[in-house]
Amino acid sequence: MDNELLEKGHRFPPVSIVLDEAGVSQYLEAVEDAALPALCRDEGRAWAPPMAVAALALRGLMEAMGLPPGAVHGSQEFEFRRPVAVGERLASRAWVAHRSQRSGWLALAVEMEATDEAGEAVLAGRASVLIPQ
């Protein structure tokens, strides 16, 4: 883990994310989600699971942060601005919004935003992460 990457205000490089049909199927099977496929059948659309989009955005962020084993996810906020279609290409950006130390843990708050190819935000979020020191 590079501590310089985790200073308040640091902006991580954008990460490209796309959820294709196979990835969505794998995700829905893993989380046993029956509600989204039913909604998609009702609406005649192919939406990506909102938490799958969020998970991919988070994965890119966690990889960029280089978190050590034992890091813990403390809290999470998401706002889903609009549905994301299967196969849609997004860019996820994240930055360190807060950093503090307490009781042997480094506490970070990281804010993120995923945008579509037109630059419109489809997802916004804030994650708090505790890292053992």
Partner 1 sequence: MRPAKSTRETWTVGRDLPSLSKALTQEKIDAYARASGDFNPIHVDPAFAAGTFFGGTIAHGMLLLAYLSEMLTEAFGGAWLSGGRLKARFKGVARPGDTLTVRGRVERMQDEGRRLFATVECVNQAGDVLVAGDAEVRLDG
Q: State the residues that interact with partner 1 by CB under 8 A.
A: 23, 26-27, 29-36, 38-39, 42-43, 47, 49-52, 54-56, 58-59, 62, 67, 69-83
Residue 78 or 95 having the CB closest to partner 1: 78
Measured from the CB of residue 76, what is the shortest distance to partner 1 in angstroms? Answer: 5
Measured from the CB of residue 91, what is the shortest distance to partner 1 in angstroms? Answer: 17
Contacts 24+ apart (CB under 8 A), 95-101: 95/9, 95/10, 95/11, 95/12, 96/6, 96/7, 96/8, 96/9, 96/10, 97/8, 97/126, 98/8, 99/6, 99/7, 99/8, 101/133
Residue 9 or 70 having the CB closest to partner 1: 70
Residue 9 or 104 having the CB closest to partner 1: 104
